[in-house]
Structure 1
Amino acid sequence: MDGGVTIVTNPSVDVRLTSSLSTFEVRRRFNRGITVAELKGKLEMIVGVSASSMDLEIFSVADTFLQKMDDDEALLGSYPIDDNSRINVIDKSGGQVGELFDVSKVEKFELPDDAYDKRTDSARSFMKKLHVGPYNEEETAKKKAELAARNEEEKTAADAISVGSRCQVKVPGQPTKLGTVMYQHWM
């Protein structure tokens, strides 16, 4: 033997990923034999930061900062990273937390209702042809009648209750409560 040191470790590592752009944490498994540049390429689709504007930091299992991963040619396994360690991705381009989920910044295609009605390849025209959903007059009328009947039943039941009557209140997930009706309020 030449007296060298041999380190035997698992070829892959299970890490937690966080980002400066989001508040959630993701778990992924990576091969220790990939370079940091390759890791950044894989992280691009996970965290939404381009590889060229990423800074990576390693945190221990106990979430204490260990070091930055600043050598793109170094292997992932050359850093002190264990299962359940955390890699934090920092966006150098200046993105803000929650920016990925802000739909107000996304350009939308909008079509006026009358133009949409003229289209034959839309969900609305499909539902009209098959008379489903809000375009089924029988079903819509039936639901309105059921709703009116239910409202009338509730009004009749409410009229039967007078101030001073004893009552039982049942709320799902809570114990039944006994009480006295103190006032009436009709809509």
Structure 2
Amino acid sequence: MATINLFIHSPGSAISSERRLPSTVPLHQLKGQLERITGVPPMDQVLSLHSARTDDPDVRAVLIAQLQGDDKSLEDYGVREGMSIKVQDTRPAPLANQFLDDSQVEKFELSEEAYAQRRDTVLAYKQRNKMGRFDPSHPSNDASSASSNAAKYCEPLPPDFKLGARCEVDTVASGAGKRGTVRFIGETEFGAGPGAAAAGGKWIGVEYDEPVGKNDGSVAGKRYFSCRLKYGGFARPDKVKVGDYPEEEIDLEDDDAEL
């Protein structure tokens, strides 16, 4: 199955994504996969093919074709690498946005002090069982830990750590890596906790392929690089692997796969 690198833009759901898509499958099958990315049901999708990405006002995108005919494929419309598919949502705005606007959702918030006083939390469990940083033998309790981290983060980086390099960032919480592009290498004015702040040293700024980040390349009013909101993040060099990490492809064979 032939695949091609395209930008996906759904203005109604504020979704922008770069994906490798199959160019030879019928549009009705492709719409099912686009629903996973944009949240727009196939019957409510109006697709158009453009010469470049349509989510960037600084990029001039020319309309190539309106994608009509469920049995046709992208190849039938002369699709090329780097083009963009705009997914318009024909549903009424209140219906289309009912799952996007969380401003009316009541949120439960717990202060750090209140959380620390509870005895039914993970933190309390670790304290009782002397696990992690509460273990007297844990490296973070060693006076030499900060100086050790400082030396590690100030060491020269391998030559493949360059701006524009493709990378994958380890994420312990999810167990899966987040792919993106290196946009910043150097020291910052922020830290990620007492140990990291004391250590100083280099950070790697990454523009992620998906909105899985925490910022737009700026932290606490200081800009280190520019990208879309939620597409930017920073990680220590030992959490970043540089190499051949292409955009994730959509698997059309597994309708239950998560994207």
TM-score, with structure 1 as normaliser: 0.50
Other-structure match for 1:52:
43
Letter in 2 for 1:11: A
CA RMSD of aligned residues (A): 3.9
Letter in 2 for 1:13: I
Counterpart Cα distance in 2 of 1:108 and 1:70? 42
Other-structure match for 2:63:
65
Counterpart Cα distance in 2 of 1:105 and 1:35? 39
- What is the Cα deviation at residue 63 of structure 1? 0.9
From 6, 19, 22, the equivalent of 2:10 is 19
Task: Indicate yes or no: 2:125 matched with 1:126.
Answer: yes
- What is the Cα deviation at residue 59 of structure 1? 1.0
Higher Cα Rg, which structure: 1
SS in 2 for 1:41: helix
- What is the Cα deviation at residue 42 of structure 1? 1.1
- 5+ residue gaps, structure 1, are 1-9, 136-171, 174-187
Other-structure match for 1:104:
103
Number of paired residues? Answer: 123
SS in 1 for 2:19: strand
Greater shift, 87-96 or 18-27, is seen at: 18-27
TM-score, with structure 2 as normaliser: 0.38
CA gap 1:39/1:104 in 2 versus in 1, 3 angstroms: same
- What is the Cα deviation at residue 13 of structure 1? 2.1
Counterpart Cα distance in 2 of 1:25 and 1:53? 18
- What is the Cα deviation at residue 45 of structure 1? 1.5
Counterpart Cα distance in 1 of 2:9 and 2:73? 20
SS in 2 for 1:78: helix
SS in 2 for 1:103: coil
From 23, 27, 33, the equivalent of 1:42 is 33
SS in 1 for 2:48: strand
SS in 2 for 1:16: strand
The structure with more helix, counted as a fraction of residues? 1
Letter in 2 for 1:41: G
Letter in 2 for 1:26: S
Counterpart Cα distance in 2 of 1:128 and 1:12? 51
Other-structure match for 1:86:
84
CA gap 1:106/1:37 in 2 versus in 1, 3 angstroms: farther
Counterpart Cα distance in 2 of 1:70 and 1:107? 42
Percent of pairs with identical residues: 25
2:23·2:79 contact (CA, 8 Å) conserved in 1?
A: no
- What is the Cα deviation at residue 127 of structure 1? 4.1
Letter in 2 for 1:48: G
Counterpart Cα distance in 1 of 2:40 and 2:106? 20
- What is the Cα deviation at residue 18 of structure 1? 0.6
